[in-house]
Structure 1
Amino acid sequence: MIKTLLFDFGDVFINLDKAATFRELKKLGLEDFSSGMMEQNQLYEMGKISSEEFVNFYISKIPESNSKKLIIAWNSILLDFPQHRLEFLQQLKEENKYQLILLSNTNDLHISWIKENVSFFTEFKSCFDAFYLSHEINFRKPNADIYEFVLEKHQLQPNEVLFIDDTQENTEAAKSLGIHTWNIDPNTEDVVDLFSTKSELF
């Protein structure tokens, strides 16, 4: 029996354009993401470097850019947050049948943009019993330690948890620990259809 619903954020609640960041950085003069850039991105996502350090790193690689342009390009991945998904979550909270936890690979610049541009962010966050962002807890998906952190912190049995994430690498990692998963396809599926899509678990 599922007792805990563990949700990703991007492309589960807020819509993303995952190709946008590279597309916009390319306009500023970036030719490709080097292995060093990918490493910096991951360090930033884990809160190991500050936003200032992160932006300055990219300025050093794209001399014609500046911090304002870089931040706009970096945040271009973020789109809209449909109201009906908030209402679905609020209904779940009201019914109080499941523990609700958010587990997201999110960095400081992205969450700052969301707080400024999603008018109901406070209401959204208040629906969760726990709200974990990778840059705040210094873990990131798909590394096993981020799932182990949540399981241990809340004394959860993996077979009583359903994890919803749009990235297969992340759901496969959770599945290997015995967690039930839904690798949601944001192009064809919507989190509000959770109970019909995964009806065999409820």
Structure 2
Amino acid sequence: MEYYVLSQKEESGCPRGLLNANLYDKFYPDAEGVQFGFFPWYAEKINYTFHTPYPEGMVLISKDRFYDFDIRSVSRFYIVSDDFLSVCAELDVAIADRVVIDVVSTKGEPVSVKSYNAVLFEELDARSDTGLGSTFVEEDGLIFRFKKLVLPEVFKHDLFKFKGMISGSNTLICSSAFKARAAGLKGVEFIPLEGVLWSAVKPI
């Protein structure tokens, strides 16, 4: 099976780069005065061993004017549309946590007609879940970038990522089956895994 690396695609409502937004437990009229970095979904870093479940009622407060993307990352979690989640539900995609969220402006007004969720995907281990021929950039025994990624011959996941990676290597990767069902999703470019230039990937 062929696999593809997901990279950001700039379209209307699909900005490239970091979202100008943060995820809160509820709407705050004075969100700039709230230390969002202390929330567990930010404070639990990439090498976390325990995930605090997302609470109900979470709100993404944005300074951007309009969103129409189907998936973008914020820290190590993702803001995912219902359409993207429906594709995940049809295939082998391991989701550790998800909760419905509101996506609003700093004034509390909706900035998208789409419905969104905060999602944490389960993450694979780059040393044990890759195939022979994979090569890495590592330091002090920790892998943090791919030079070349080869997947095992027996590999069942249709959408996945690897834990603890940086740069383009920390993006999502999908199967050809996922890509076929994802036609029409906005803000995503699918780059063939074979021969990918990792430094050119704009991580989803």
Do both share a fold (TM > 0.5)?
no
Higher helix share: 1
> How does the TM-score come out when normalised to structure 1?
0.35
Q: Could you tell me the TM-score, scaled by structure 2's length?
A: 0.35
